[in-house]
Amino acid sequence: MLRYLFLFFLFCASLLAADASQENNTTLVDESKLIKVEDTSGLTEDEVRQVAKKIDKQEIKKLRWEELSPTPIKSDWVETKSGEWFRGKIKGLYDDKLEFDSDEIGVYVFDFDDIKTIKSYEIISVNIENIASIAGVLRLNGNKVTIIQGEHKYEFLKSKVVSFAPDAQLERNFWSGKITLNLDMRSGNTNQADYTAQANLKRRTAISSLSFDYLGRISSKDSQEIANDHRINEKYDRYITRYFFWTPVFSEYYTDKYKNIKDQVTLGFGLGYTVINTKKTLWSFSGGPAAIYTRSYTVETGHNGSSYSPAIELSTKFEQELSSITDFTYNYKLTFSDRGAGVYKHHMIFKFENELLSWLDVDLTGIWDYVAKPTEDVQGATPKNSDYQLLIGFGIEF
């Protein structure tokens, strides 16, 4: 009999920053010795500005575009519509969100609509809608995307880009993740300790996304364990168009000692569609057929301790940017099956992520798990249908 042991490491970090300031020496100039040249052209201020604008255009025409922007040497460069340049490394573009890693600002997510220019140093694999995935040096200038491949170059409209990611030689460059830790300890009339951990790990390329999500809880009260449950979800998506994707495989492993579930494994495949994909909002649906294997800790005499069940799984994901530092995420998954797997169950998570630093968030998470027909134990006791959790913890991105 296999047993699964989950170890939690509590990570505490603090960032100390010291600002250094320098005083600039100011040289005073005697204005009485300056020669004042008057404008005798007779032009108004607006007319003078128009003359300056024409001169600017003439100067620009004498320069190449590369000379007007940073040269990508050992780093990628992106420019926002406001004219700000950022130096660092492109991590990927998914759902019109550009993830960029800079030494100055850390990992930052830009809206693709806010990006005016991209000059990549690394080779980028670009997924062009309904055409192909093309690897090369990436250039974005306004609404035109150019992929340079040796002596050849391919040009597309910005709106045709579904996703892109570094065509990395190192496997670790495809991965990113986040760990959120929650700890609640009380003493006095009641001694209670609650440990909860969430982990999200993603491997993303230009045409696919592989994600692993872990949620685990261990609680004790007066040295008596009162909760012990763990859930691991896996999902592999492949993009077909900007809005349509298919899932060759999704799976879940779940164990809950106090719901009488020793092992529960779900395996299936499906399709998905993105209903809304705007600058601040993402809403998608997915689902498909699945099979569920369930093994109980104890059962009544004469009942089978394990069972197989066909199932239908449906899920939705909603993301909303509430402000520059606060994001809201809602995940809901429901499963229909036969009596051995609970008939109907759902797993719901809502989360508010509040950014403290580029790599550190304060997360508020709400969780609701429900099983319509829990399995009775050997003593005939039936677990409760619903479990609720409200968590506050620190999330570390990497």
DSSP letters, 18-50, are -----PPP-----GGGSPPPP--S---HHHHHH
| Closest listed residue to residue 339, CA positions, set 296, 301, 287, 288 | 296
Q: Are strands 244-256 and 224-239 parallel, antiparallel or unpaired?
A: antiparallel
CA distance 106 to 86: 11
Amino acid residing at 211:
S
Contact, 145 vs 164, CB < 8 A?
Answer: no
Q: Please, how many CA atoms are within 13 Å of residue 347, restricted to the half-sphere of its CB?
A: 16
Specify burial of residue 334 (Cβ count, 10 A radius: 0-12, 13-18, 19+): middle
Instruction: Please report which helix (H) or strand (E) contains residue 49, including its range.
Output: helix 45-61
Most distant CA atoms of the chain, gap in Å:
108
pLDDT at residue 246, rounded to an integer: 93
What does each C-alpha distance from 392 to 120, 155, 198 come to in angstroms?
Answer: 38, 47, 11
CA distance 199 to 85: 32
Instruction: Please report which helix (H) or strand (E) contains residue 52, including its range.
Output: helix 45-61
CA distance 307 to 320: 39
Contact, 71 vs 59, CB < 8 A?
Answer: no
Question: If you ran DSSP here, which 8-state letter would residue 58 be given?
Answer: H
| Closest listed residue to residue 251, CA positions, set 302, 304, 301, 214 | 214
What does each C-alpha distance from 210 to 37, 237, 249, 291 come to in angstroms?
Answer: 67, 6, 10, 20
- CB contact set of 28 (below 8 Å; sequence gap of 6+): none
If you compute the radius of gyration of the chain from its CA atoms, what whole number of angstroms results? 28
CA distance 187 to 117: 56
pLDDT at residue 42, rounded to an integer: 61
In degrees and rounded to multiples of 5, residue 47 shows phi and psi of: -65, -35
pLDDT at residue 18, rounded to an integer: 32
The structure tokens listed for 141 are: 């200038």
pLDDT at residue 266, rounded to an integer: 96
What domains appear along the chain, each with residue ranges and CATH number? 50-169 (no CATH), 174-397 (2.40.160.40)
Q: Which residues of the chain have pLDDT under 50?
A: 1-40, 48
- CB contact set of 365 (below 8 Å; sequence gap of 6+): 180, 182, 198, 349, 350, 351, 352, 389, 390, 391, 392, 393
